[in-house]
Amino acid sequence: MQDIYLNNVSFSFDNKFSDSKFRIDDFSLTIGEREFCTIVGCNGSGKTTLLRLISGYLSPSKGEILINNKDLKNYSREELSKIISFVQQINPVVFPYSVFEIVAMGRSPHLSSSHFENSNDVDVINKYLEIFELTQLKNKNIQQISGGELQRAFICRALVQEPKILIMDEPVSHLDIKHQLTSYKLLKDFSKELNITIILVSHDLNLTLRYSDKVILMKDGRIISNDVPEKVLTTENIKMVFDVNANYFFDRNKNKYLHISE
């Protein structure tokens, strides 16, 4: 069981090392095992900061973050690498690795003392390369593929890590429409079939509405609402946070969707 619990957490960049005055003040939050949880809000609302707190990259100035009833600060880096995988929004690539090599890096926490992949590791890597339609590109230089293909490679790398918690910052922002839909469906299926808790940031309210079990709506470092999509993505909340008008409609398959206008 990998429930995540944030208890009265505060965090601030307001210190001598940063010019930013951004802060998150006293909030509590629970994310359950196998939940597909999406964080939405305007730029600068604290979405990425929240991801970094949950992943352990940042430490709260107040409060506690518990994973499976154990304080995050009491986990070793080795322990966390077998629990949490983080796909960042920007992944700079300096060296000319192949797609296979980039994806294989995700197996690091599971490698033996030899630090080389065994046949099982290679099978896991090839399985996810095929799922994300990257098999034909696996020997290609990572610097010679498209931004969308690169992003799929990083999602693939995160999954071969076989985490219990998968954290992603705008994971489909560089993907075309087909691969956005495919990736969301795959991730939703993985959350249930592989018992993975998924926490991601998104700016697409319709994908959020369609696939999320829970939505966290943020503004200015505060959680405005935290519940199932229909209770969070109300026309009133969307107007308050994004300053746009939203109306609900149904498509031919009776799926609910949002139409956004100024």
Provide Rg for the chain, Cα atoms.
Answer: 19
pTM: 0.91
pLDDT tens per residue, range 166-210: 999 999 988 999 999 999 999 999 999 999 999 999 999 999 999
pLDDT tens per residue, range 14-35: 655 555 567 888 889 999 999 9
156 burial via Cβ count (<10 Å: 0-12, 13-18, 19+): buried
State residue 76 phi and psi, 5-degree precision. Answer: -80, 165
10 burial via Cβ count (<10 Å: 0-12, 13-18, 19+): middle
Give pLDDT, residue 117: 82
Residue ranges matching CATH 3.40.50.300 in the chain: 4-83+163-261
SS3 170: coil
Give pLDDT, residue 20: 58
The CATH class that applies to domain 4-83+163-261 reads alpha beta
pLDDT tens per residue, range 92-151: 666 889 999 999 999 998 887 667 788 899 999 999 999 999 999 999 999 899 989 999
